Structures are given as structure tokens and as C-alpha cells.
């Protein structure tokens, strides 16, 4: 399946960001992309660097203006699009939500981010209620997609639950980068850890993984930190963890990568991890900690 990824640097101008995304979506579709994946919270700057109630004005309902905008593109171009939106569910109730748009412009399904970080410059718990839709793949005309979001990518349980329900691909819209005070060596350790853990999900589940990250520097509006340098490095890995493509760590990119979904079947025959799981011995996994 020809899969398009868009690694973009955002500005404070939401309309401009969406216009540039539309241009990239059209370009990828012209190159044959059937599925196009966008980065986390792609319409705006990464507003979670500060806790500011005015940022809730960025949220919108689903369905809403963004699903209409990207739905029109999907229908015009005949592609499936994975979006990442700041969802206003009700007054005072907000989610970080991935929405999959079918090629006819309709909403195929959505996933609300389950794991919510709360770290310096990533104050997401201030904004997002943890997801309540569970870990369930979304069926589309291009396959059953295991869509998760950013911080979810560190958790093998999330990937496994998607795989056990027949996901044919794991997809992670992402916004992650370097803290300006970290030493260069530490920055690279973090970036490589991020790539490695997701390639591990590919291997453990025998599935391709697509991670699409934003890129470029975004300042901290509070001035308390030097801001975030988003490290890009969007990548596609095959079911043995092999890197099919890895984007720049500092430049914008859009790229079509051909993913052989049928190869997963062969890999799972060689490495039958699902067959050999000791499901009768895993009851303690639901505990917070085993004393």
C-alpha cells in the first residue's frame, strides 16, 4: 500500500498550516498515495508547552470544521487520511483525538489518546481527558488501521491490543522533540530510544509501524524554557523492524512509501509470537506494580 507521510513545521497561523497540509496531501495523492498520515495536533503550534485556559479555544467538535476540511480533500482525491485533532466533546471536556477520514469523505472512526503525559513543556493533562474508546483498530477501504497517538507509542500493551484485534498496521501521529537544555548526546539517546521502542512494536507484533512527527523549533510562550526542537525523524518500519524510510531530523518532508501488508503474514509464520504467548500466565499485567 502506498502510504504518504507529512512532516511539517507549524506556525501560529492555523489557516496557513492547514493550507500547507492540503497542498502536501494533494501532492502525495498525485504520486499515488492511498493512505496519508498527518502529525499530532497538526493544525496549530504545540500549545501544551504552557497551561493557558485560552488555548481551549483551539478545540473543536468532531464532526466539525477540520473533519469537513479534510473530508472534502479525501473525497476529492480518493485517499484515506489520518488526522489528529483537539476535540471539544463538551464544555470542560476535551480530548486529543485521531480521526480517520475514509476516501469518500466520511469519518471511518476515531481514537482518543489514552496515555496522557505531564512533563515540563508537555502539560497535556491540563488539556486532555484520557481516552475512553479503548484500543480498537479502525476499518477502512485500505485496511484495518491500529491508530494510536504519540505518548501511546512507548507502551507495548497498546500496540499488542491493536494487533490482537487484527490491526494490519500501527500508526502514531506524534509531537516530540528535544528540550533545549539537554546535551547533544542525551538528545540523540532520546531520539534513538523513540525509534527503537516503536521498531520493537513492529517486531513483537509482526506489523508495519508508521510514526509521523512534527519538525522545527517552537518557542515556549512563558519563556520558562528554551522551547522545543521537534526532532522530525518520521519513519516507516516493516514487520521485522526494518527501516523502510526515515525522514530528516530538521527538515520538512513529504514522502510516499510502499508498504507490503502481505509480508506480515509471512513474518508471523516465521516468528509465531502470537501462537506462543502464555496468556494463562499474564494476569498480573493489569496490576500497577507487583510487590
Q: Decide: 36 and 259 in contact? Cβ < 8 Å.
A: no
251 carries an active-site annotation: no
E strand map for the chain: 2-7, 35-37, 80-90, 93-101, 107-112, 118-119, 122-123, 138-140, 143-147, 169-174, 177-179, 209-213, 215-218, 228-231, 235-237, 243-246, 253-258
DSSP, collapsed to helix, strand or coil, labels residue 254 as strand
Out of 40, 124, 168, 218, pick the active-site residue: 40
Catalytic residue among 102, 110, 124, 150: 150
Rounded distance between C-alpha atoms, residue 198 and residue 60, angstroms: 30
The C-alpha cell at 194 is: 523513540
Taking Cα atoms as reference points, which of 289, 6, 261 lies closest to residue 146?
Answer: 261
Give the cell for residue 219.
518557542
40 given a catalytic annotation = yes
Closest to 95 (Cα-Cα) out of 80, 83, 84 = 84
* Residue from 102, 110, 113, 218 carrying the catalytic annotation: 113
Q: Is 48 a catalytic residue?
A: no
CA distance 79 to 25: 9
| Pairwise CA distance, residues 127 & 151, whole Å | 15
Q: Which residues are catalytically annotated?
A: 40, 113, 150
Amino acid at each position: 500500500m502506498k502510504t504518504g507521510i507529512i512532516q511539517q513545521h507549524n506556525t501560529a497561523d492555523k489557516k496557513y498550516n492547514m493550507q500547507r497540509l492540503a497542498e502536501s496531501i494533494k501532492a502525495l495523492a498525485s504520486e499515488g498515495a492511498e493512505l496519508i498520515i498527518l502529525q499530532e495536533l497538526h493544525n496549530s503550534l504545540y500549545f501544551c508547552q504552557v497551561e493557558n485556559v485560552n488555548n481551549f479555544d483551539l478545540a473543536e467538535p468532531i464532526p466539525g470544521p477540520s473533519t469537513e476540511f479534510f473530508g472534502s480533500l479525501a473525497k476529492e482525491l480518493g485517499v484515506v487520511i489520518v488526522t489528529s485533532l483537539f476535540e471539544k466533546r463538551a464544555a470542560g471536556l476535551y480530548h486529543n483525538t485521531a480521526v480517520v477520514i475514509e476516501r469518500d469523505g466520511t469519518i471511518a472512526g476515531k481514537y482518543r489518546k489514552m496515555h496522557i503525559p505531564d512533563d515540563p513543556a508537555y502539560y497535556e493533562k491540563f488539556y486532555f481527558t484520557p481516552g475512553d474508546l479503548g484500543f480498537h483498530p479502525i476499518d477502512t477501504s485500505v485496511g484495518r488501521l491500529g491508530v494510536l497517538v504519540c505518548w501511546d507509542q512507548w507502551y507495548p500493551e497498546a500496540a499488542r491490543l491493536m494487533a490482537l484485534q487484527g490491526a494490519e498496521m500501527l500508526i502514531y501521529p506524534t509531537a516530540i522533540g528535544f528540550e533545549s537544555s539537554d546535551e547533544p548526546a542525551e538528545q540523540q539517546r532520546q531520539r534513538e530510544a523513540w525509534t527503537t521502542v516503536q521498531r520493537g512494536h513492529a517486531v513483537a507484533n509482526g506489523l508495519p509501524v508508521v510514526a509521523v512527527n512534527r519538525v522545527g523549533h517552537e518557542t515556549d510562550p512563558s519563556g520558562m524554557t528554551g522551547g522545543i526542537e521537534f526532532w522530525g525523524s518520521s519513519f516507516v518500519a516493516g514487520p521485522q523492524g526494518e527501516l523502510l524510510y526515515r525522514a530528516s531530523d530538521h527538515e520538512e518532508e513529504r514522502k510516499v512509501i510502499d508498504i507490503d501488508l502481505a509480508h506480515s503474514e509471512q513474518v508471523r509464520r516465521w516468528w509465531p509470537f502470537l501462537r506462543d504467548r502464555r496468556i494463562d500466565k499474564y494476569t498480573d499485567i493489569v496490576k500497577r506494580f507487583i510487590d
